[in-house]
Structure 1
Amino acid sequence: MDVSIIEKEMVIPREAGDDETVVFITSPLNLDFESTMDKFVDVYEKSEESPMVIYKLKFSTLPRHNGRKLKISSPNFETLSYDLNLKAKIPLFLMIIDPNGTIGLTCFQEYRNKGNKLYLDGLYEDAKVEYQNALACDDGPEESDIAQKMEDVYNCTTSKRKADELFNDKSWIDAKHEYEKTLALNANDTHCQNRIDQCNEYVGETPRQIKGKIVDNEGNPLIGVKIEAEYLKVNKKGQIETDKNGSPKKGYKSVGTTNPDGTYAITVLNKSKFLKFSKGNVLSQEAYYYSGTTVEITNDAMDIALSGKVTIKGVSDGFVEVTKVISEGTSDIKKELK
């Protein structure tokens, strides 16, 4: 039997000399009972309080209370074997229910529950039919939440349909926005969530954090190194721009600079495959500059070394280039004419 049992223990005054143990069972199902310790189970009272049936059972095998298994059966369900932990003169309350919530309910409750399940599964048109069936039931309450649920169905259907159209048109950003409208009403809609993940993948909006340190070739930290990340160019409609060969157009955007100790921590998009590192010139009588570099993003921790150069003004036949990396305090700089 595919059921759940809720056990409650409560002391109820009993008549003097009454040593029998009583079990009260409520269920929307029609039940039959057997006991492993008794020749029969005395169902001394059965009553109905829609949608539940109340069974009152007695067990007269005394003084043994523990060790008894109660077998509960009902048509179309597997038989349930339940250990009864009984105590003399203390009634035991059990509730046996159908976890699907479709048995023993009123017409209104049954169709409403079916509609709710379909709604959570993202089957909005089917949910709408069940909600309409619930409204047609004669036993429905004067006031219910069906009107609000029908409005939610309409809004989810509208935004989901629009989102699918935008998605098929490759308008990823607008499609994502419409899918988010549906998820705001039904967070269980896996279709919308999966499509949002796809939109993020196509547009490259899934964030990724990368950390590292930038130094010169002698290991000295470099401050103020500009860091740029690759991105896919997207037009105003959210569509990825392509060149004449159909390849996505790419560019670079600034995502940060290094700290005084040369470290950095940046957030890039998952579609960013490359980073650019560059440091501006340091102008004085000798102008120091560092060769920029473009590196592929291979992991979330990347340390980079930049090569440094110096040019000296006033040389008639061109600048003098220093091939040795500049580092503070270095005096043996090798100079070569261009």
Structure 2
Amino acid sequence: MTPVAFAQNVLEVTDVSQPNDVYSSDDGKAVVVVKCNKTIPLMFESTMDKTADPYNILAEGNDSIYYIEFPTGSRYRGRQLSIKSPGYNTVTISLEDLKPKQAVTLLAVDPNSMVDAGCYRGHRNRGLEELKKMNYNEARIQFEVATECSDVDTIENNENLALVDSIIYYRNKAELLFNMHNYREAANLYKKVLMYNSYDSYANDRQAECMLKYVDECSMTMEQA
């Protein structure tokens, strides 16, 4: 089991083009159609063109659909399209051999978004958010509900359950040792909690408090000796 990694600001782009997709163009141009949830505004750049601005942007349900027209031909081989959004990683797509009247359709999604995430990802993401907020019991409930989803990633979900169980175990044991004034061992356990969840400010404060109390106890012992 590894410490939790909170995936944030990731944009995944998938080519969902169909073989029979055709772009009606009289001058041999091709079109790239990009679909993305409207909460994630997109911008585009091309390595072979002065601009890659969409000639049209349509709204369809919760999505924005961007239409970008490109000239074709041998001089444009090697073209790379960069897809950007504020706060997200830039995704680069190869369009090195666009053909006249070809239509390429791309789907851009944030796999860590609550929006349109599906059953498993929705509960997984809520669980990770609750874990980040140190609401460990609620996080575990979300991971348990995710177990029942038809699209569950069983391996990942089991790892998340084991993760939250480990954090709860070490936190409770650390609290017990703290109350028993065993500050050195308590500090080690709070440190383990932080290894699993670096966002746990309570464990961070407790660890610092333990170290101060341990140093004070050592100083008092030396004075008495």
Q: How does the TM-score come out when normalised to structure 2?
A: 0.55
Q: Answer 1 or 2: which has greater helix percent.
A: 2
Rg larger for: 1
Mapping of residues 1-338 of structure 1, within 5 Å: 17-18=26-27, 22=31, 24-29=33-38, 41=56, 43=58, 55=65, 57=67, 101-141=113-153, 143-204=154-215, 232=216, 234=218, 248-251=220-223
1:186 CA displacement? 2.3
1:22 CA displacement? 4.3
- Return closer, same or farther for 1:20/1:132 CA change in 2, 3 Å cut-off: same
C-alpha separation between the residues in 2 aligned to 1:174 and 1:90?
65
C-alpha separation between the residues in 2 aligned to 1:169 and 1:103?
46
C-alpha separation between the residues in 2 aligned to 1:172 and 1:100?
38
- Return closer, same or farther for 1:185/1:97 CA change in 2, 3 Å cut-off: same
Q: Residue 126 of structure 1: SS of its match in structure 2? A: helix
1:90 CA displacement? 11
- Return closer, same or farther for 1:118/1:14 CA change in 2, 3 Å cut-off: same
Q: 2:97 matched to which residue of 1?
A: none
- Return closer, same or farther for 1:146/1:252 CA change in 2, 3 Å cut-off: same
Q: Quick one: which amino acid aligns to residue 18 of structure 1?
A: D
- For structure 1, the residue ranges without an aligned partner over 5 or more in a row are 32-39, 60-88, 205-231, 235-239, 241-247, 254-338
Percent identity of paired positions between Structure 1 and Structure 2: 19
1:191 CA displacement? 1.4
1:93 CA displacement? 8.4
Q: Answer 1 or 2: which has greater strand percent.
A: 1
- Return closer, same or farther for 1:103/1:42 CA change in 2, 3 Å cut-off: closer
Contact 1:5 1:96 in 2 (8 A): no
Q: Quick one: which amino acid aligns to residue 180 of structure 2?
A: D
C-alpha separation between the residues in 2 aligned to 1:198 and 1:21?
64
Contact 2:34 2:108 in 1 (8 A): yes
- Return closer, same or farther for 1:175/1:27 CA change in 2, 3 Å cut-off: same
C-alpha separation between the residues in 2 aligned to 1:5 and 1:165?
39
1:203 CA displacement? 1.7
Q: RMSD between aligned alpha carbons?
A: 4.5
Contact 2:140 2:161 in 1 (8 A): yes
Q: Which has the higher contact order (CA 8 A, sep 6+)?
A: 2
- For structure 2, the residue ranges without an aligned partner over 5 or more in a row are 1-8, 14-21, 41-54, 70-100
- Return closer, same or farther for 1:195/1:30 CA change in 2, 3 Å cut-off: closer
Q: Note the alpha carbon deviations across 1:267-320, whole angstroms, 9 max, x for none.
A: xxxxxxxxxxxxxxxxxxxxxxxxxxxxxxxxxxxxxxxxxxxxxxxxxxxxxx
Contact 1:5 1:94 in 2 (8 A): no
1:188 CA displacement? 2.8
Q: How does the TM-score come out when normalised to structure 1?
A: 0.39
1:30 CA displacement? 8.7
Q: Note the alpha carbon deviations across 1:141-199, whole angstroms, 9 max, x for none.
A: 4x332122212212211110121122233221121122123223223322112211111
- Return closer, same or farther for 1:129/1:58 CA change in 2, 3 Å cut-off: same
1:113 CA displacement? 1.1
Q: Residue 144 of structure 1: SS of its match in structure 2? A: helix
1:202 CA displacement? 1.8
